[in-house]
Amino acid sequence: MHTCALVAGLSLIATASAHCNRELLVGATETYVAAQASGNSTAVSSISVGDLTYTENEQPVDIHKGVLTTPIKIDHNRSVHDAENCASFTEIIAASNPHPYVIGTRILYTESHQIKLIESIVTDEGDWLFNATGYLYWNSLENWDPIPEELRDSRETIKAAGDAYFNRFMNASVEVPFGVPCSRLEGGASTAPLNLTGDTCTAAGMPSTLVVTNRRYVVDEVMGVVDIYLGFPGLDRTVPDQHMPDSHMFRVESGEIRYIHTVSSCVAPGCGLNGTLFPPPTRTRRVRPHL
Ligand SMILES: *[C@@H]1O[C@H](CO)[C@@H](O)[C@H](O)[C@H]1NC(C)=O
Ligand SMILES: *[C@@H]1O[C@H](CO)[C@@H](O)[C@H](O)[C@H]1NC(C)=O
Ligand SMILES: *[C@@H]1O[C@H](CO)[C@@H](O)[C@H](O)[C@H]1NC(C)=O
Ligand SMILES: *[C@@H]1O[C@H](CO)[C@@H](O)[C@H](O)[C@H]1NC(C)=O
Ligand SMILES: *[C@@H]1O[C@H](CO)[C@@H](O)[C@H](O)[C@H]1NC(C)=O
Ligand SMILES: *[C@@H]1O[C@H](CO)[C@@H](O)[C@H](O)[C@H]1NC(C)=O
């Protein structure tokens, strides 16, 4: 009797710690991606609460007037799901669409799996290092398969790897667990060409005086991913006091960062840098990338 009561108690605890059902979250992100492909915002609002909060690049927008009303030919999509926190993140790359886009979308759900918040970072020409063709190409060389069960890191390990990256931005003594290979893909430009088999996340340089604000997390142990939304200070040189909407998605394997995908929007075209920032390895000009 005692054993049964104990087992029953444990399974209750296990259920209580996962507040949402992963499969239902997967269904919701599939609905979201299909809705973006067909330009049917109603398909998303119909699985949302009545007072849904919807933003694009941190500006409140009517979901029935935003990018979800535009059919977009999607070349690639990837979603990660955080059952414990009832959250998801979706990456959409549309390179062959007449109007190319890279879109990052963080969604929060109620415990009954209705969408309550959608934060999209909608990037296109003029946003940070934007090149949807490049995003699609570099992504295609990477392996983001689910992590085999016996090799999965804990939520804490995955989140700590992403946090270390941003803690390093303000403290050069912080060790970031970069793996090999490690490469960072920003807008469409990758650090990978600096060394296709090596760690180019470090090689491309890191700041030590930047405090990123308002970190918001989506952690998926199955995919070995933490996505962090944040305000990126000084990214747009024309508005140095504003924090630009930014998503960094980290793929973590055995505690080490393998890939970083960023989506960052600008106010001024090219964030006021006139496209001079990112260093293709073939050019001699050496300017520090955004990270
Ligand atoms: C999203 O990606 C999945 C997996 O690659 C694919 O099966 C699905 O068709 C894609 N959805 C759209 C709308 O492109
Ligand atoms: C849009 O989605 C809604 C909800 O799923 C559906 O009822 C409607 O038929 C769709 N509209 C179009 C034009 O496909
Ligand atoms: C975009 O990326 C593609 C693929 O890497 C590359 O061939 C192209 O030159 C890039 N375009 C620009 C404007 O950098
Ligand atoms: C910087 O990071 C190091 C290593 O983690 C830590 O010991 C130190 O306390 C940090 N400094 C500040 C000011 O947070
Ligand atoms: C590329 O990275 C690999 C693995 O870290 C290293 O062995 C190799 O020397 C690097 N190559 C260059 C050209 O830096
Ligand atoms: C970008 O170009 C504009 C117009 O030519 C110029 O005023 C500005 O100083 C340039 N900004 C940078 C960071 O080079």
Note the pLDDT of residue 103: 98
Q: Is 180 in the pocket of ligand 5 (CB under 6 A)?
A: yes
Which numbered ligand comes closest to the C-alpha of 176? Answer: 4
Residue-level pLDDT at 283: 31
Q: In CATH terms, is domain 4-124 a member of 3.10.450.50?
A: yes
Amino acid at 252: V
Predicted confidence at residue 281, as pLDDT, reads 33
Q: Give me the pLDDT at residue 8, please.
A: 45
**Residue 107 CB–ligand 1 contact under 6 Å:** no
Q: Whose CA is nearest to atom 9 of ligand 2?
A: 43
Grouped pLDDT means (10 residues each) for the chain, 291 residues? 45 59 98 98 98 96 98 98 98 98 98 97 92 97 97 98 95 95 94 92 82 94 97 83 91 98 88 56 36 51
140-272 to CATH, choices 3.30.930.10, 3.40.1280.10, 3.40.720.10, 3.10.450.50: 3.10.450.50
Atom of ligand 1 nearest to the CA of 74: 14
Give the number of other CB atoms < 10 A from CB of residue 147: 20
- Regarding the beta carbon of 276 and ligand 4, being less than 6 Å apart is answered no
204: closest CA among 147, 129, 137, 148? 129
DSSP β-bridge partners for residue 87: 82, 108
Residue type, 270: G
Give me 102's structure tokens: 């890279």
Cβ atoms of 247 and 228 closer than 8 Å: yes
How confident is the model at residue 139, as a pLDDT?
98
**Predicted pLDDT at 275:** 55
pLDDT value, residue 233: 82
DSSP states along 28-56? HHHHHHHHHHHT-HHHHHTTEEEEEEEEE
Q: If residue 11 lies in a helix (H) or strand (E), which one and from where to where? A: helix 2-17
> Would you say the CB of residue 139 lies under 6 angstroms from ligand 1?
no
pLDDT of residue 274: 59
pTM as predicted: 0.88
Q: In which residue ranges of the chain is CATH 3.10.450.50 found?
A: 4-124, 140-272
Q: How far is the CA of 80 from the centre of ligand 4 (A)?
A: 31
Q: Whose CA is nearest to atom 14 of ligand 4?
A: 171
